[in-house]
Chain A
Amino acid sequence: MKFGVVRFPGSCDEVDALHACRRFGEAELLWHGDRDLSGIDAVVVPGGFSYGDYLRVGAIARFSPMMEAVIEFAEDGGPVFGICNGFQVLCEAGLLPGALLPNDSLRFVCRQVEVVVEATDTPFTRTCRAGDRLSIPVKHTTGRYFAPPGTLPEDQVVLRYAPGQNPNGAMEDIAGVCNAGRNVMGLMPHPEHAVDPLTGSADGGRLFESLSMVPA
C-alpha cells in the first residue's frame, strides 16, 4: 500500500501527512509540477496555502500538472483524500460538491474539535462505526462548507462537527464530504495532526488506517 502526498508551493502540512501515512503504509511526496502517479494506491492532497491562496483558495492549484493527473486518477476510481486546503482544491477541481467560504467569524480558528462519523461505507472511514466521535484539530480561515441546495445528497456527508462545536459556520455542521463514487473525500479538520497520543489524540489515524486497507 503506497500513499502519495502532493506538495504544492505553499503547502505546509505535507510532512505531517507523510508521517501519518507512514504509520500505516509506504508514502512518498508528489511534486506539483510532475504528473507521474505510477505505483501510487492513494493520493493525499494536504493542507497549506497552495499558490498563496491567490484569487480564491485552491483555485490555482487545481490547474497544476499533478492535479490533472490526480483528477484522472480519481475518475478511474483511485482514492483521493483532501485535507483543509486539499479539500478546497478538490472542490475547485469539481471532484467534490460545494465550496469553502470564509469562516463566519472572519477569524482564523485553531482548536481541537470533535467530529461525528456519519458514513462508514467509504475507504476513509471503514474502520469507524457510525456515530463514533473523533477528536481532531482544525486550523483555518476559510472552512465554512457550503453546497447550493440540491447538490449534496445526504449520504455524501461523511463527518459532522459534534453539536455546538461547529468552528466556522459550515452548513449543517458539515466537516467532511465524499463524492458520489465515494472514492474522493475532503475534510477541514486535520487528521494528520492527530495520529499520536503524544499530541493529544490519535483519532485521526483511523482515517489513514482505513485508507491503508485499500487493495493495492
Chain B
Amino acid sequence: MRARVLIRPKEGILDPQGQAVERALPALGFEGVQNVHVGRLIELDVEDAGRLPEMCERLLANPLIEDYEIVDGEAA
C-alpha cells in the first residue's frame, strides 16, 4: 500500500529553514504567519505497513533530532 511519512525537526530545536521562510513571507506581503517549520515528506509503497515505525526509527528519521508521523499506511 501507499504510505506517507512526515518528518519534522523536533520541537525546541532551532529550525533556521523555518525561520528563513517565516521572514520571507512578509517580504512578499503575506502577513500574520508564525511558527513555520520545514520538514520533508517521504512517500513509499510498502507490503507491510506495520514495519513503517521501525523504518522511521532506523533510517527515514533521526529520532534524536526529528519527529516522524506516519500519515497513511497504518490501516494496512
Q: Which residues of A contact B (CB under 8 A)?
A: 55-56, 59, 63, 92, 98-99, 101-106, 144, 146-148, 151, 169
A106 touches B17 (CB 8 A): yes
- Please measure, in the bound complex, the distance between the C-alpha atom of A169 and the C-alpha atom of B60, giving whole angstroms: 25
Q: Does A99 lie within 8 Å of B64, measured CB to CB?
A: yes
Residues A59 and B59 in contact, CB atoms below 8 Å apart: yes
Q: Is B25 an interface residue (CB 8 A)?
A: no
Interface of chain B, main secondary structure: mixed
**Number of B residues with CB within 8 Å of any CB on chain A:** 11
B14, B20, B59: the one contacting A55 at CB < 8 Å is B59
Decide: A102 and B16 in contact? CB cutoff 8 A: yes
* C-alpha gap A59/B56 in the complex (Å): 12
B62 touching A103 by the CB < 8 A rule? no
Check B16 against A146 for contact (C-beta < 8 Å).
no
Cβ of B65 within 8 Å of any chain A Cβ, yes or no, is yes
Q: Which residues 5-24 in B have Cβ within 8 Å of A in the complex?
A: 9, 13-14, 16-17, 20
**Whole-angstrom CA separation of A146 from B13 in the bound complex:** 9
Instruction: For A101, list chain B residues within 8 Å (CB).
Output: 9, 13-14, 65
Indicate if the CB atoms of A148 and B16 lie closer than 8 Å. Answer: no
Q: How far is the CB of B22 from chain A (nearest CB, A)?
A: 13
Q: Which of B17, B59, B64 contacts A102 (CB 8 A)?
A: B17
Q: Name A169's contact: one of B9, B14, B20, B62 (CB within 8 Å).
A: B14
Which of A55, A56, A106 makes the CB contact (< 8 A) with B16?
A106
Give 4 closest A-B pairs by Cβ, nearest first. Answer: A106-B16, A99-B65, A99-B64, A104-B16
Residues of B within 8 A of A63 (CB): 59
The residues of A that contact B59 with a CB separation of less than 8 Å are: 55, 59, 63
With CB as the reference atom, state the residue of chain A lying closest to B58: A63
CA gap between A56 and B65 in the complex, in Å: 11
Contact partners of A103 in chain B: CB under 8 A: 16
Q: Are A98 and B62 in contact (CB under 8 A)?
A: no
